[in-house]
Amino acid sequence: MDLVRIGEKIISIPRINNKINEILQYRMLGMSQQEAADKLGVERTFISRLEGLGEIRKGQSIAAIGFPIKNRTEVEKVLRAFGVEYFFLMSEAERTDYVNNCTGAQLTNRIIELVNKLRNFDIVIVMASDYRNRLARNLLDNKVIEIDIGKSPIKEDVNVNLDNLTDILKTLKG
């Protein structure tokens, strides 16, 4: 039964299922509830309640940031496979563009917004230079797991050790 009548309304069950799938896809890709709600024209509280209906268990929420990452595609694949809720990875070129294509005020706002977003997670995996890892540990109140990819300053893209990342995520996810 694809259509149901509720009072004067005709409801399409496939349409509801498609919208729910879209919401969940955006959330799995790392969008916040508010970002997904804005994109799909629904209330953020709807997404929260929807997730609550389907929740099986709560675990520690995990985010990951890293730069300058050479094997970004492979790192993203590992993060997705372990259900990491949010990640922000950049190459050296992307990092340079990110900094150079905005004013000082815009950059400050972007950094504050990112730190604020990361504070909402129980654990943040930071894949960066020794210096940037220390900064992240000091900025974030939550538990930071550092993957040191080199001595600061790093001027070119660096491969993250995927075995190390996988081991960390296996340990965190149990």
Please state the domain extents for the chain: 3-54, 62-173
**pLDDT at residue 38 in the model:** 95
Indicate the DSSP class of residue 142.
Answer: S
**Whether the Cβ atoms of residue 135 and residue 111 lie closer than 8 Å to each other:** no
Residues 6 or more apart whose Cβ sits within 8 Å of residue 74: 162
Compute the distance between CA of residue 125 and CA of residue 133 in angstroms, rounded to an integer: 9
CA distance 10 to 14: 12
Rounded to the nearest 10 degrees, the angle between the axes of helix 33-40 and helix 44-54 is 120
Q: What residues in the chain have per-residue pLDDT under 70? A: 55-58, 142
Which tens digit of pLDDT belongs to each residue from 122-157?
A: 899 999 999 999 999 999 976 899 999 999 999 999
Three-state secondary structure call for residue 89: strand
Contact between 42 and 22 under an 8 Å Cβ cutoff? The reply is no
Compute the distance between CA of residue 37 and CA of residue 124 in angstroms, rounded to an integer: 24
CATH 3.40.50 fits 62-173, yes or no: yes
Whether the predicted model's global pTM rises above the 0.75 cut: no
pLDDT of 141? 73
Phi, psi of 82 (to 5 degrees): -95, 5
| Cα 32 from chain centre | 8
Name the fold adopted by 3-54.
Answer: Arc Repressor Mutant, subunit A (1.10.10)
